[in-house]
């Protein structure tokens, strides 16, 4: 469990040279990538950095900017760990910061090792939710095997050649196997931030995934659409009895789950 955190990406917004220097050294020692920002940056940029945690000294920004910034960060990057590390503060400020989305608040001067530990603690919490099952045994369902440790999925022992995004999407879905996940939630889990209105990325990637999956495992349906809501991962064998005859749409009422609401794709392979 010690190695759990792995390599992290951290952004630090501060100007305190001494602090930056000593913290930077620790960050290097831990092998975490980090970047120092002298001041406020557009949240979009933070998004692009794909960081795991942000260490912020509130005093580098005027209060009327700092709070909204904190709020915006929390809104766009609900999964980002935010550690406030500031000189002096009142209880009211700390409470406000924590309520606004900060995960921790440390008073300077503080020992860099403690900051490190707090970053770890915050990230650990965050990691637990989405994936972090790099360690978890590979998930096997249907003809599919999802190997979190390899960023790959295999069908009958053969790699499905998923790209990174495709794999993460599949993993996010399979993590919630059986239950419907809304698009926004999927996006948040895979992309890491809030989905913009009108973004169709999820749909497009779902399609790419389906293609690769169906191509290699024609008689299974893995991803089900829930109109107006999202998707559900739930491997089901397509009626195998009608192995080839594509026309055969057996209205087998009882047994099979022929739900009219979900747009099941036909094994319309070649």
Partner DNA sequence: GGGGTTGTGAAAATCCGGTTACCGGCGCCG
Partner DNA sequence: CGGCGCCGGTAACCGGATTTTCACAACCCC
Query: Per rule CB under 7 A, is residue 228 in the interface with DNA?
Result: yes
Considering only residues 70-99, where is the footprint of a copy of itself by CB under 8 A? 78-79, 81, 91, 94-95, 98-99
Is the separation of the CB atoms in 118 and 99 below 8 Å? no
Per CB under 7 A, 257 contacts DNA: no
Residue 211 CB, nearest approach to DNA (Å):
7
Binder of residue 194, out of DNA, a copy of itself, none (CB less than 5 to 8 A by kind)? none
30 interacts with a copy of itself by CB under 8 A? no
- The answer to whether 163 contacts a copy of itself (rule: CB under 8 A) is yes
Nearer to DNA, 88 or 259 (CB): 259
Instruction: From the list DNA, a copy of itself, none, pick the one residue 72 interacts with, judged by a Cβ distance below 5 to 8 Å according to partner type.
Output: none
For strand 230-237 and strand 180-182, is the pairing parallel, antiparallel, or unpaired? antiparallel
Q: Is 18 exposed, middle or buried (0-12, 13-18, 19+ CB in 10 A)?
A: exposed
Q: Which is nearer to DNA, 92 or 268 (CB)?
A: 268
Q: How far is the CB of 270 from a copy of itself (least distance, A)?
A: 31
Of 28-36, 127-135, 136-144, 193-201, the window that binds a copy of itself (rule: CB under 8 A) is 127-135
Residue 21 binds which entry of DNA, a copy of itself, none, CB below 5-8 Å type-dependent: none
Looking at the Cβ atoms of 93 and 258, the one nearer to DNA is 258
Q: How far is 122 from 116, CA to CA, in rounded Å?
A: 10
Torsion (CA) 203, 136, 158, 200 in degrees, nearest 10: 10
Judged by CB, which is closer to a copy of itself: 219, or 258?
258
Give the up-direction half-sphere exposure of residue 183: CA atoms within 13 A in the CB hemisphere: 18
Cα four-point dihedral sign 158, 164, 165, 168: positive
Exposed e or buried b per residue across 114-134, where buried means at least 16 C-beta atoms within 10 angstroms of its C-beta = ebbebbbebbeebbeebebbe
Could you give the CA distance from residue 170 to residue 48 in angstroms, rounded to a whole number? 22
Interatomic CA distance for residues 208 and 177, integer angstroms: 19
Using rule CB under 8 A, residue 235 touches a copy of itself? no
Scan for tokens 């790209």, then name that residue: 163
Site string for a copy of itself, 97-126 (x = CB under 8 A): -xx--xxx------x-xx-xxx-xxx-xxx
CA 119 to chain centre: 18
Four-point Cα dihedral 186, 189, 191, 193, nearest 10: 100
Asked if 163 touches DNA (CB under 7 A), the answer is yes
Partner whose footprint covers residue 25, from DNA, a copy of itself, none (CB < 5 to 8 Å by kind):
none
When CB distances are held under 5 to 8 angstroms depending on the partner's kind, the choice from a copy of itself, DNA, none that residue 179 binds is: a copy of itself
Out of 142, 145, 151, 194, name the contact with a copy of itself by CB under 8 A. Answer: 151
Give the Å distances, CA to CA, from 39 to 15, 22, 72, 98.
8, 19, 15, 20
Catalog residues that contact DNA under the rule CB under 7 A: 161, 163-166, 183, 191, 196, 198-201, 203-207, 210, 225, 227-230, 260-261, 263, 265
């Amino acid at each position: 469990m010690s190695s759990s955190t792995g390599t992290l990406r951290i952004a630090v917004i501060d100007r305190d040279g001494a602090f930056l220097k000593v913290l930077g050294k620790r960050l290097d020692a831990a092998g975490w990538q980090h970047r120092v920002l002298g001041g406020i940056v557009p949240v979009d940029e933070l998004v692009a950095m794909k960081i795991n945690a942000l260490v912020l000294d509130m005093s580098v920004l005027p209060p009327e900017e700092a709070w909204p910034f904190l709020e915006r960060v929390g809104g766009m990057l609900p999964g980002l760990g935010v550690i406030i590390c500031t000189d002096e503060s009142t209880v009211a400020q700390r409470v406000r910061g924590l309520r606004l989305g900060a995960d921790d608040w440390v008073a300077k001067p503080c020992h860099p090792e403690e900051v490190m530990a707090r970053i770890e603690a915050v990230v650990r919490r965050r990691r637990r939710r989405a994936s972090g099952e790099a360690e978890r045994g590979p998930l096997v369902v249907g003809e599919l095997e999802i190997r979190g440790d390899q960023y790959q999925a295999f069908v009958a022992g053969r790699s499905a050649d998923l790209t990174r995004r495709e794999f993460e999407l599949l993993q996010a879905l399979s993590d919630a196997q059986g239950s419907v996940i809304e698009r926004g939630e999927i996006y948040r889990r895979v992309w890491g931030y809030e989905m913009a209105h009108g973004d169709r990325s999820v749909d497009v990637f779902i399609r790419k995934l389906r293609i690769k999956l169906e191509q290699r495992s024609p008689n299974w349906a893995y991803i089900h659409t829930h109109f107006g809501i999202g998707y559900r991962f739930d491997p089901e064998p397509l009626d195998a009895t009608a192995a080839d005859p594509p026309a055969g749409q057996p209205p087998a009422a009882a047994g099979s789950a022929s739900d009219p609401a979900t747009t099941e794709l036909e094994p319309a392979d070649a």
